[in-house]
Amino acid sequence: MRSSAGTAVAPSVAPAPTCTRLVHSPMRRHAIVWPVSLARRAPLDRRSTAAARRTATPARRALGWLIVAPTVLLAGCGGGTTVSPTPAVTVDSAAPSSSADTGSSGAAQPARRRIVLLDPGHNGGNAANPAQINKMVPDGRKGTKPCNTTGTATSDGFSEHEFNWDVAVRVADVLESNGVTVVMTRKNDTGVGPCVDIRGEMAEKVNADAAVSIHADGAAPAGKGFHVAYSSPPLTASQGQPSISLATALRDSMRGLLPSTYLGKAGLLPRADLAGLNLSKRPTALIECANMRNPDEAIALDNSIGQQRYANAIAAGILAWLGKH
Q: Which residues are catalytic?
A: 288
165 contacts 215 by C-beta, under 8 angstroms: no
Residue 3 exposure: Cα atoms within 13 Å on the Cβ side: 4
Three-class secondary structure of residue 294 per DSSP: coil
Q: Tell me the C-alpha distance between 195 and 52, whole Å.
A: 26
Q: Tell me the C-alpha distance between 144 and 53, whole Å.
A: 37
H or E segment and range at residue 182: strand 181-184
- Give DSSP secondary structure letters for 265-281: BTTEEEES--HHHHT-S
Is the four-CA dihedral 216, 22, 52, 186 of positive or negative sign? negative
- What is the widest separation between alpha-carbon atoms in the chain? 67
Q: Which of 257, 256, 251, 250 is nearest to 294 (CA)?
A: 257
Burial class (CB in 10 A: 0-12, 13-18, 19+), 27: exposed
